[in-house]
Amino acid sequence: MPQNFTVTPYAVDGEVDYDRLLDAFGADALTDDQRDRFPDPVHPMVRRGVFYAGRDVDPFLDAATAGQTCSVVTGRGPSGPMHLGHVLPFYFAKYLQEQTGAYVYVPLSDDEKYFAKDRQFEDISAHVRENLRDLLAVGFDPERTRFVIDTADADVVYPLAAAFANDLTPATVEAVYGEQPNVGLTFYPAVQAAHLLLPQLVHGRHPTLVPVAVDQDPHVRVCRDIAAKERYDVDKPGDLLSRFLPSLGGPGKMSSSDDAPSIELTDDRATVEEKIHRYAHSGGRDSLAAHREHGGDPAVDVAYQYLHFFFESDDRTVERLARDYRAGDLTSGEMKARAAEQIVDFLEAHQARRDQLGSLDAELGPYRLTDDERERARRGVGVETGRLE
């Protein structure tokens, strides 16, 4: 890892140099050709380089564009309420599902967050239930989407994780993650490998893509080594790696666990406007006169970055906003007002869908693994029986 920043699944610090990170991780930058091969229309997060790198993206694109079986796995570590940055990969996954018919598997790693954070299981479980409402509100196709909760679906997660843990040496885990504070976290990579290989164990060998922020690449790397073992009938999952949505205070991971305020999925219009106007780091000049004369810098302007990252879907509009900002024709206040407006539109639609949900158990039912799917997954690692009768 380069000296002046850290990116691991458990710590993101410093000014991330995204290109040097690829060298350190050994992942590949996405090529223009790959970007163009995403199903049309290509999602703005791919077009604009928010998803900027990956591993084995091509097999997924081949299958997805040929209408063959493919899957997307993107999960959630339920350590707290979900905020804006957390939900974007799920909307991206839904978009891919609509375009390609991909299966989408959404694991919730409550065990991981229990091991990694100083919290009681009661608190984590409350976040699981609350996060599930947000994930259900995204609107995945229940026929082709499965939510899997590590502790609640232990009848399938545990046999898989046990099989994969047997393939993983402590030396490998230490080399990839450094020293871990407890054996739970040393074991956890086997659990995440179970998440990533589950669609193939259920539906047969096929290309899987894991769209995640770049800090999750180590989990995928470990899983790919396991998947390469002869005894499993699976392909190595590929990943699609994104930059971090900047926090309101400026670049770095948009984190709910530090002091910078985050935009929560429950925030109303007034709250979003207030957070952006007060906290969003501005690339504008100190005075309006200086801004008009010299222009602002969209590259460090968080309001602009949010529009660019996700919230303004029209490329020409994004380019015009950047141009007008640099020219000083558009002020920082105007940029913020625009970002707030588009984020509020997105949140209000999300909140309306969430408010319409009935009881969690009833809503979740169609998204849970069926008995047959559980059986197939266990058989994929050689465990024949789930029930002992």
Considering only the stretches 73-81, 93-101, 164-172, 371-379, report the one whose residues sit in contact with ligand TRP under the rule CB under 6 A.
73-81
In whole angstroms, what is the distance from residue 365 CA to residue 30 CA?
Answer: 37
In angstroms, what is the minimal distance from the CB of 210 to ligand TRP? 5
In angstroms, what is the minimal distance from the CB of 220 to ligand TRP? 8
Q: Binder to ligand TRP among 44, 54, 75, 251 (CB under 6 A)?
A: 75
Q: What are phi and psi of 335, to 5 degrees?
A: -60, -45
- H helices present in the chain, as ranges: 18-25, 32-37, 44-47, 57-65, 84-100, 110-116, 121-137, 154-165, 170-177, 183-203, 217-227, 269-279, 288-294, 302-306, 315-327, 332-355, 360-364, 371-380
In angstroms, what is the minimal distance from the CB of 79 to ligand TRP? 8
Under the binding rule (CB under 6 A), the answer on residue 37 touching ligand TRP is no
Residue 20's Cβ-side half-sphere holds a number of Cα atoms within 13 Å equal to 10
Nearer to ligand TRP by Cβ, of 74 and 247: the residue is 74
* 268 secondary structure, DSSP code: -
Under the binding rule (CB under 6 A), the answer on residue 210 touching ligand TRP is yes
Residues comprising the chain, all counted: 389
Nearer to ligand TRP by Cβ, of 71 and 192: the residue is 192
Under the binding rule (CB under 6 A), the answer on residue 55 touching ligand TRP is no
Nearest residue (beta carbon) to ligand TRP: 75
Judge contact between 271 and 35, C-beta under 8 A.
Answer: no
In whole angstroms, what is the distance from residue 236 CA to residue 206 CA?
Answer: 9
In whole angstroms, what is the distance from residue 303 CA to residue 341 CA?
Answer: 11
Nearer to ligand TRP by Cβ, of 131 and 305: the residue is 131
Nearer to ligand TRP by Cβ, of 71 and 109: the residue is 109
Under the binding rule (CB under 6 A), the answer on residue 80 touching ligand TRP is no
Cβ-Cβ contacts under 8 Å for 385 (sequence gap 6 or more): 378
Chain centre distance of CA 381: 27
Under the binding rule (CB under 6 A), the answer on residue 77 touching ligand TRP is yes
Nearer to ligand TRP by Cβ, of 53 and 318: the residue is 53
Under the binding rule (CB under 6 A), the answer on residue 189 touching ligand TRP is no
User: x/- binding map, residues 83-122, to ligand TRP, per CB under 6 A?
Assistant: ------------------------x-x--x----------
Judge contact between 89 and 213, C-beta under 8 A.
Answer: yes
Nearer to ligand TRP by Cβ, of 9 and 296: the residue is 9
In angstroms, what is the minimal distance from the CB of 84 to ligand TRP? 15
Nearer to ligand TRP by Cβ, of 191 and 280: the residue is 191
Judge contact between 102 and 71, C-beta under 8 A.
Answer: yes
Nearer to ligand TRP by Cβ, of 75 and 251: the residue is 75
Cβ-Cβ contacts under 8 Å for 365 (sequence gap 6 or more): none
Q: Binder to ligand TRP among 43, 76, 253, 281 (CB under 6 A)?
A: 76
Under the binding rule (CB under 6 A), the answer on residue 212 touching ligand TRP is yes
Judge contact between 237 and 66, C-beta under 8 A.
Answer: no
In angstroms, what is the minimal distance from the CB of 59 to ligand TRP? 18
Under the binding rule (CB under 6 A), the answer on residue 195 touching ligand TRP is yes
Total residues binding ligand TRP (CB under 6 A):
14
Q: What are phi and psi of 190, to 5 degrees?
A: -70, -30
Considering only the stretches 68-76, 245-253, 321-329, 339-347, report the one whose residues sit in contact with ligand TRP under the rule CB under 6 A.
68-76
Judge contact between 346 and 126, C-beta under 8 A.
Answer: no
Q: What are phi and psi of 384, to 5 degrees?
A: -80, -35
Under the binding rule (CB under 6 A), the answer on residue 74 touching ligand TRP is yes
Nearer to ligand TRP by Cβ, of 43 and 195: the residue is 195
| Interface contacts to ligand TRP, rule CB under 6 A | 9, 73-77, 107, 109, 112, 192, 195, 210, 212, 216
